[in-house]
Amino acid sequence: MKLLLALLLPLVTYAQDPNTTAETPQDHKLLIYQLLPRLFGNKVALNKTYGTIQENGCGKFNDINDLALTQIKDMGFSHVWYTGVLEHATMTAYPGIPADDADVVKGRAGSPYAVKDYYDVAPDLAVNVHARMAEYEALIKRTHAHGLQVLMDFIPNHVARSYHSDAHPAGVQDLGAQDDKTQAFAPNNNFYYLPNQHFVVPAGYNPLGPLQGPREDGKYEEFPAKATGNDVFSAAPTINDWFETIKLNYGVDYLHGHATHFDPIPNTWRQMRDILVFWAQKDVDGFRCDMAEMVPVEFWAWVIPELKKVKPSLVFIGEAYNPREYGTYFTKGHFDYLYDKVGLYDGLRRLMRQEGRTEDITHVWSQESAGFGSKMLRFLENHDEQRIASPDFATDPRRAIPAMTVSATLGSGPVMVYFGQEVGEPARGNEGFSSADGRTSIFDYWGVPEHQKWMNQGKFDGARLSAEQQRLRDFYVRLLRLAGSSEAIRAGQFYELQAANKAGQGYDASKLYAYLRYTQGQQVLVVVNFSDSQTYSPTLAIPPAAWQAMGLDAQRAYTLRDLLGNGPAQPGNHPVALPPLGALVLEIKPQ
């Protein structure tokens, strides 16, 4: 690659330059490692479809030990999101804890998002079931001792149909205990009701395929029936609905024009605040808030400041999918961060599949998240999405290299990796309820084979990884450490170079994407190649407006230091080839 330092474009006033944004970057470079304890520490490799916990095994809080946390920290992460911690509906029984009715449970292990007790943790995750809370508290302390912060789920929109808290603090009334069940809606009811109607299990639901689940008979006694979690106000939800959950009532009368009843504060708001306070007082550092847009923004506007009175440093991350409402959830709702799923994730997914356009990246920073790019959480995998290495997504995990580089360096906001992503886990196999869908199941007991090679029966040394997996993981480590340490990436301004180069010799703007990140103290050039077959050696131009913005003299001679590959510094006009699926992060230094 050559840097062409001549003045190729007319001088553009910085504030009006369409290649950059007026946003003042803020350092929000959280580096988050998402893991499900149920899957992360599981050493069993049987992987039997619809297997029981005894057959397929289950990870425990205690499996996330000092060795594991040392490795997570060494990769460069600052936060761990422990997913699926809360007690949820399951087909597995324990002494004093009966199995839930299979007719309203998805998967033998059950969905972590069908919470059965907001004040308790899943017995599956404990070595000593009766000491399960103590084991989770010990994990929180252990995580902090390794310099990592703890995130956990807050699931505000719905609970399991079998919800009943037997672990709530003294004086706390259980959800629904005081509801007027004769009313479809009442402002202080915790649930929505369908008076005089019995709940009907969806026709054709077969919880365990050829096997029989606990109490499975196609029936579940719920009278009066309650509205289902995905806003279905019918006693007979379909098999495609979230029929295993019931919707919580935040004071919105859905059946009468979504009329709101927020004054006085609804009972559900206060109950949810108390639940969040309970976990904050256990020294949790933040919450990933499930389906944040399915509860009214007015609730967030009230509850997040309430929680920050208790612990000002708490972080709130919203799972959000409507770009038109991002600004509302930041300004009115007080969220710290929101998912960048329908923008950057979807655009990068298309590029990784050799279907997309680099213009989609431009649209994200210039339009969709303009003004709050520092607050968008970027990722390529999570528990809801397909694995990159699966045939359903990109097949080759190396296709993540350019996309992950963009995710980690495009802005100064948080970036997330899902456990197993760094070693190319492809999510093969039919787990049971989850089926062979390219995702690692959250519903079934399962081992995660490529992750298990890194875990190596609890040694966490990666000794069983192939050479190619070692190289992939090494890329993630180098990228994450760089993202966490580089001043320009953590807090720098952004300048896109597509317009300056789209007509340039050897520059294919449909496959290459280039930009600058810079502060007064550091200037960095990022170039990635999304092609899986073509090598490029373009002459890359930096326009005068960009030199001016960086505070550098375009007429000087510069060297380029490879921050990602740790290669030697090279003259700024030295050609460097960008191979298929390649990525370069180059520091610009005066000679």
- 442-455 pLDDT, tens digit each: 999 999 999 999 99
Distance, in Å, from the CA atom of 412 to the CA atom of 488, rounded to the nearest integer, reads: 9
| pLDDT in the model for residue 569 | 76
Cα dist. 361→346, 457, 511 in Å? 10, 40, 12
Strand 31-35 to strand 79-82: parallel, antiparallel, or no bridges (unpaired)? parallel
Q: What is the pLDDT of residues 197-214, one digit of tens each?
A: 999 999 999 999 999 999
| pLDDT in the model for residue 567 | 75
Cα dist. 26→236, 336, 409, 455, 519 in Å? 48, 12, 13, 35, 12
Q: What is the pLDDT of residues 480-539, one digit of tens each?
A: 999 999 999 999 999 999 999 998 888 999 999 999 999 999 999 999 999 999 999 998
The CATH number that domain 35-160+266-484 falls under is 3.20.20.80
| pLDDT in the model for residue 505 | 85
Torsion of CA 551, 552, 553, 557, to 10 degrees: 170
CA 416 to chain centre: 6
Confidence band (pLDDT; 50, 70, 90) for 163?
very high
CA 310 to chain centre: 25
The DSSP result for 490-502, as a single string, is: HH-EEEE-HHHHT
Over 50: is that where the pLDDT of 401 sits? yes
Q: What is the pLDDT of residues 329-347, one digit of tens each?
A: 999 999 999 999 999 999 9
The DSSP result for 211-223, as a single string, is: S--TT-SS----S
Mean pLDDT value of segment 6-28: 71
Q: What is the pLDDT of residues 265-314, one digit of tens each?
A: 999 999 999 999 999 999 999 999 999 999 999 999 999 999 999 999 99
The CATH number that domain 493-590 falls under is 2.60.40.1180
| pLDDT in the model for residue 1 | 53
List the one residue out of 207, 201, 204 whose CA is nearest residue 105.
207
Over 80: is that where the pLDDT of 571 sits? no
H/E segment holding residue 518:
strand 512-518
Partnered with residue 228 across adjacent β-strands are 232, 246
| pLDDT in the model for residue 13 | 42
Domain boundaries, the chain: 35-160+266-484, 493-590
For residues 160 and 90, the answer to whether their CB atoms sit within 8 Å is no
Contacts of 82 (CB under 8 A, 6+ apart): 35, 37, 64, 139, 150, 151, 152
Q: Write down the pTM of the prediction.
A: 0.97
| pLDDT in the model for residue 504 | 86
Distance, in Å, from the CA atom of 528 to the CA atom of 400, rounded to the nearest integer, reads: 11
| pLDDT in the model for residue 16 | 76
Distance, in Å, from the CA atom of 62 to the CA atom of 424, rounded to the nearest integer, reads: 25
Distance, in Å, from the CA atom of 29 to the CA atom of 414, rounded to the nearest integer, reads: 5
pLDDT averaged over every residue in the chain: 96
Q: What is the pLDDT of residues 550-569, one digit of tens each?
A: 999 999 999 999 999 977 77
| pLDDT in the model for residue 539 | 84
| pLDDT in the model for residue 7 | 38
Any idea what the Cα angle at residue 410 is, between residues 482 and 14, rounded to 5°? 120
Mean pLDDT value of segment 356-377: 97
The DSSP result for 379-421, as a single string, is: ES--TTSPPTTSTTTTS-GGGHHHHHHHHHHSSSS-EEEETTG
The DSSP result for 429-450, as a single string, is: S--SSS-SSSS--SSS----HH
Mean pLDDT value of segment 93-115: 98
- In the chain, the largest separation of any two C-alpha atoms, in whole Å, equals 81
Range 486-509 burial, b when 16+ CB lie within 10 A, else e: bebbbbbbbbbbbebbeebeebbb
Mean pLDDT value of segment 179-195: 98
| pLDDT in the model for residue 572 | 73
Over 60: is that where the pLDDT of 225 sits? yes
Confidence band (pLDDT; 50, 70, 90) for 570?
confident
Range 345-377 burial, b when 16+ CB lie within 10 A, else e: bebbbebbeeebebebbbbbbbebbeebbbbbb
Over 80: is that where the pLDDT of 318 sits? yes
Distance, in Å, from the CA atom of 263 to the CA atom of 292, rounded to the nearest integer, reads: 21
List the one residue out of 275, 249, 244, 242 whose CA is nearest residue 165.
275
Distance, in Å, from the CA atom of 124 to the CA atom of 42, rounded to the nearest integer, reads: 11
Over 70: is that where the pLDDT of 254 sits? yes
Distance, in Å, from the CA atom of 454 to the CA atom of 473, rounded to the nearest integer, reads: 10
